Structure 1
Amino acid sequence: MAGLRSETPLPEAITLHGQSRVLEVGFADGSLFRIPFELMRVFSPSAEVQGHGPGQEVLQTGKREVDVVSLEPVGNYAVKPTFSDGHDSGIFSWDYLYFLGTQQAQLWEDYQRRLQEAGVDRDAPMAAKAGHACGH
């Protein structure tokens, strides 16, 4: 999970747009980001997606139509979305949402490259999970 850095502006407005599948976040510095649910799900900061260290990331597929079914506040520093595929272990700090917003284009490029390198289609269903030691 990204920490809270003093230089990251605080969000002033957060709106879920179910029809267009985006989370709109307005920050105190005037930045306004429309972060697709798919991007949030593919880059979830959870151990299930990120692993427990470099090289342990799990490439996510089949998330184009994913919805956010609920969004819960976590203290004064983050939100925790529950996605329509059942994923609910990612805590999105303000820093991380700002990162997703500012780096969207690069993240999409990285994701497309990783899919191509793995020879996997973006819309392919996720492969069955093998056991995960931490239980997530």
Structure 2
Amino acid sequence: MSQAPLPSEIQLHKQSRKLELVYGDQHYLLSAEFLRVHSPSAEVQGHGPGQEVLQLQKEKVGISNIEPVGHYAIKIYFDDGHDSGLFSWDYLYELSMHQDEYWQTYLEKLMAEGYERQQDA
């Protein structure tokens, strides 16, 4: 059974390319890029530990739509065509709670690959 609280509100801000999740009085803004590079899909995560695929050139990705999947997840449709990851409530809460840490790890992986992010994406 799920340990994470359910968001009381989910709002897609298309212009700023952010997904807002509200848990009680806490508001979290997750960028489309952050969600895209942390998609739980096999395309991103691989099929086991150590098989993750570093996502490049996602600075300008947006979210075209979100829809509920049962009572346990949402499906996010990214405007680059990616839509195979189901973001469970547990995973969304984890991403919200560890956003800074996960983002820093992602940036470090990009640097290790010699990839430079487009700054004004």
Q: TM-score, normalised by structure 1?
A: 0.82
Which residue of structure 1 lines up, in the alignment, with residue 83 of structure 2?
88
Task: For 2:96 and 2:38, locate their aligned partners in 1 and report how far apart those are by CA, in whole Å.
Answer: 12
**Residue equivalent to 1:18:** 14
Corresponding residue for 1:63?
A: 58
Q: Which runs of 5+ in 1 are unaligned?
A: 124-136
> What is residue 130 of structure 1 aligned with on the other side?
none
Instruction: For structure 2, list consecutive stretches of 5 or more residues without a partner in the other structure.
Output: none
Return the index of the structure with the highest Cα Rg.
1
Aligned equivalents of 1:96, 1:63: Cα separation in 2: 20
Q: How many residues align?
A: 118
Mapped to 2, the partners of 1:51 and 1:32 lie a distance apart of: 30
Cα shift at 1:54: 1.0
Distance 1:94 1:18 in 2: 21
TM-score by length of 2: 0.92
- Aligned-residue identity in percent: 52
RMSD: 1.2
Q: Distance in 2 between matches of 1:41 and 1:97?
A: 12
> Do structure 1's residue 99 and structure 2's residue 90 form an aligned pair?
no
